[in-house]
Amino acid sequence: MANAQERLQEIADRGLQGELSPEKRDKFNEAVRRGIVTLPEDKQSFSAQADGVDTGGFDFSTMEMIKNIPGSAGQYAEDLLTPILHPMDTATSLYTLARGAAEKLIPDKINGVDFGPGTHEKYADAVGKFFKDRYGSIDNLKRTAQEDPVGVLADVSALLTAGGSAASKIGKLGKAGKAAKTVGQAVDPVNLVTKTARYTAGKAVPKAVPRKMFESAAKWRPSINKAQRARMTETALREKLMPTTKGVTKITDALDDLNTGIDSIIDTATAEGKTIPRQALFKNLKALRKDIGGTKLDAPDNLRQIDRVVKTFEEYAKKVGKDELTPRDLQTLKQAAYKQINFDLKQGRASFGRNEARKAIARAAKEKLEELDPNIKAINKRMGDLLEVQPELERSASRVENLNIIGLGTPMNVGAGGVLGDIPGAAVGAGLSIMEMPRVKARGALLLEGARKSRLSDIARRPVPGSAIRGGLVQSGRLQQAYKNNPLIGLRPK
């Protein structure tokens, strides 16, 4: 039967001291100090530091830190891009972390019944250990600063910037908060790294990723067909529309500018004396009559309605002497036709044949205007896209802005993070919550789409994502590190 020394040595050889209770850990550490137990050579320095054993302190080397900067910057970029390139793995990691943190809050024993540790607690333990190993002691901090200098400065920057932003809004703390935010932005070492990484990610990320991210944030109505949802998402990404009041206002301003542009072209063409024969408005009616005529039940009535629309317009045009129509006449006719169609539909008195005739005539007016100036066709296309997305973006903005700024998940994630790793853990929890905010998802989608279509020189002139968004991405990516570095878990949590 093994004696106490042999049992302690076996624990050291197998690296199991982290599983000991605080009381037994103290005894183990004392045995190491006295030389009764010898740590394996390859783990001695690191394990002793993690367990609080005095090994004489970590010898920080500035030269070693400089040598580690390229690898540290690469790790930062990997952490930043992991949630984007592997969204399913990241979602699984977030789920297992949340489950593990919740299980740690539940006692193993309740009313004398021993339930034992939860099945997901190991994921929470892995994340807690990851941050303890980084910042859990002065020596750990020095070791982390030497081995991961970019990551440390990025963490400091994110905490100061986020904390400073919050404090700047609180009375007497405002001045100090602004100062902290300024310092946080000043020490951010990764602007160029982030821009380059974003460019690389933009070329590597599948086209579907920003589209799925934006749809997840906007939450288009399920009743809208898939093709229309896809068109609206494309419009939002192309026009850089956020699902917020500002995004809706941006649509209104864009439509006003486009209308002004069309009016300028039309007025110029009218002033130049350009005209279109009145009969050109009826060029689409032959195909319409063929489409709704024939052996259909309502064909006679629908054909009579088409003839009635044409007759009424012809009689009025002859009465006012409009054999030739100016570009302004065409624009006025087109706008009035669509307005009347929409009014009849809302009033529930729409007639199929009459409305189809109006649409065909309005479409002919639009096509004739586009023949006058090719720019009008592009403007009309853009206006149509914006008008399609406008009402749905208004619904999305109302939903997003009615949500709590700090949702229910935020205090839960921050609290769970605190259970795992005190202040660093709480920062992780906050970062994960940020990633779930619709505004952040939408902004991330717009950034990714912009990167996909940008040249490196364009990106170098563009500001990088805010610290909050970047911090959320990085902390999500670090979950993969925490799991990968734990031999009991591996890269992919189950």
Q: What is the pLDDT of residues 246-292, one digit of tens each?
A: 999 999 999 999 999 999 999 999 999 999 999 999 999 999 999 99
pLDDT, tens digit (0-9, with 9 covering 90-100), for 86-120: 667 777 777 777 777 777 776 665 555 555 666 77
Please compute the mean of the pLDDT values over residues 453-478 and round it to a whole number: 57
State both tokens at 219.
């939450």
What does the pLDDT read at residue 278? Answer: 92
Q: How far apart are CA 174 and CA 167, in angstroms?
A: 6
Check whether 405 has a pLDDT greater than 50.
no
What does the pLDDT read at residue 225? Answer: 93
CA torsion 458→156→72→127, rounded to 10°? -120
Check whether 431 has a pLDDT greater than 50.
no
Q: How far apart are CA 211 and CA 237, in angstroms?
A: 8
What values do phi and psi take at 373, rounded to 5? -150, 120
Q: How far apart are CA 14 and CA 32, in angstroms?
A: 15
Q: How far apart are CA 303 and CA 76, in angstroms?
A: 68
What does the pLDDT read at residue 482? Answer: 65
Q: How far apart are CA 146 and CA 161, in angstroms?
A: 23
Q: How far apart are CA 196 and CA 338, in angstroms?
A: 48
Shortest CA distance to 36 belongs to which of 73, 8, 69, 75? Answer: 8
Contact 185, 161 (CB under 8 A): yes
Percent of all residues in the chain with a pLDDT value above 70, rounded to a whole number: 66
Give the Cβ contact number of residue 428 at 10 Å. 30
Please compute the mean of the pLDDT values over residues 475-484 and round it to a whole number: 66
Contact 7, 23 (CB under 8 A): no
Shortest CA distance to 476 belongs to which of 153, 224, 239, 127? Answer: 127
> To which H or E segment does residue 374 belong?
helix 374-402
Q: How far apart are CA 231 and CA 384, in angstroms?
A: 11
Q: How far apart are CA 138 and CA 145, in angstroms?
A: 10
Most confident among 108-122, 161-175, 222-236 (mean pLDDT): 222-236
- 158 confidence band (pLDDT: 50, 70, 90): low
Top-confidence residue, 373 or 461: 373
Judging by DSSP bridges, how do beta strands 109-110 and 276-277 pair with one another? unpaired
Shortest CA distance to 472 belongs to which of 446, 451, 450, 443? Answer: 443
Contact 331, 369 (CB under 8 A): yes
> To which H or E segment does residue 447 belong?
helix 438-452
- 61 confidence band (pLDDT: 50, 70, 90): confident
What does the pLDDT read at residue 280? Answer: 93
Give the Cβ contact number of residue 76 at 10 Å. 26
Q: Which range is least confidently modeled, 5-14, 159-168, 336-345, 402-411?
A: 402-411
pLDDT, tens digit (0-9, with 9 covering 90-100), for 357-399: 999 999 999 999 999 888 999 999 999 999 999 999 999 998 8
Check whether 241 has a pLDDT greater than 60.
yes
- 188 confidence band (pLDDT: 50, 70, 90): low
Check whether 164 has a pLDDT greater than 60.
no
What values do phi and psi take at 82, rounded to 5? -55, -45
- 493 confidence band (pLDDT: 50, 70, 90): very low
What does the pLDDT read at residue 110? Answer: 57
Top-confidence residue, 331 or 80: 331
* Contacts of residue 341, Cβ cutoff 8 Å, sequence gap at least 6: 350, 355, 358, 359
Q: How far apart are CA 427 and CA 308, in angstroms?
A: 71
User: What does the mean pLDDT of the chain come to?
Assistant: 75
- 481 confidence band (pLDDT: 50, 70, 90): low
One-letter identity of residue 444: G
Which residues share a beta bridge with 110? 113
Most confident among 49-53, 160-164, 416-420, 435-439 (mean pLDDT): 435-439
Give the Cβ contact number of residue 351 at 10 Å. 15
Query: Tokens 């935020």 appear where?
Result: 410
Q: Indicate the pTM of the whole model.
A: 0.50
CA torsion 172→175→176→178, rounded to 10°? 130
Contact 37, 28 (CB under 8 A): yes
- 62 confidence band (pLDDT: 50, 70, 90): confident
What does the pLDDT read at residue 140? Answer: 82
Using alpha carbons, list the distances in angstroms from residue 406 to 75, 220, 366, 403, 414. Answer: 30, 23, 48, 8, 11
Shortest CA distance to 329 belongs to which of 357, 363, 365? Answer: 365
Percent of all residues in the chain with a pLDDT value above 90, rounded to a whole number: 30
What does the pLDDT read at residue 423? Answer: 42
Please compute the mean of the pLDDT values over residues 324-352 and round it to a whole number: 88
Q: How far apart are CA 334 and CA 359, in angstroms?
A: 9
Top-confidence residue, 462 or 356: 356
Check whether 206 has a pLDDT greater than 70.
yes
Shortest CA distance to 201 belongs to which of 87, 91, 93? Answer: 87
State both tokens at 212.
């799925």
Top-confidence residue, 137 or 330: 330
